[in-house]
Amino acid sequence: MEAPLLKGVNAAAARSFEDGLKLVQLRGESMQAAADAAPSAMVSVIGLDADKVRISAANATLWIQCLNQNLQVALAPRTEATR
């Protein structure tokens, strides 16, 4: 579950605050276990047009992982591509 979704679930009183904290902790532990199991990296590009980032990313074996807005793009590269 993404953190904003957890906040929404708790705001709707579908879970107690304590249960929400347990879910956040479990999510963090799970994400850390996944990161430890497979080397990975993420790059954030702020201030460049998404289309320009898309073209550059394709040339560097990167892909757009998250497009938050046109000028804020998160790329999920192969680990060696970030060096």
Task: Report percent pLDDT > 90 for the chain.
Answer: 4
Locate 74 and state its tokens.
């998160």
Q: What is the pLDDT of residues 40-62, one digit of tens each?
A: 777 788 888 888 888 888 777 77
Q: Binning pLDDT at 50, 70 and 90, where does residue 8 land?
A: low
35 near 52, Cβ under 8 Å? no
3-state secondary structure of 28: helix
Domains of the chain, residue spans:
1-38, 39-83
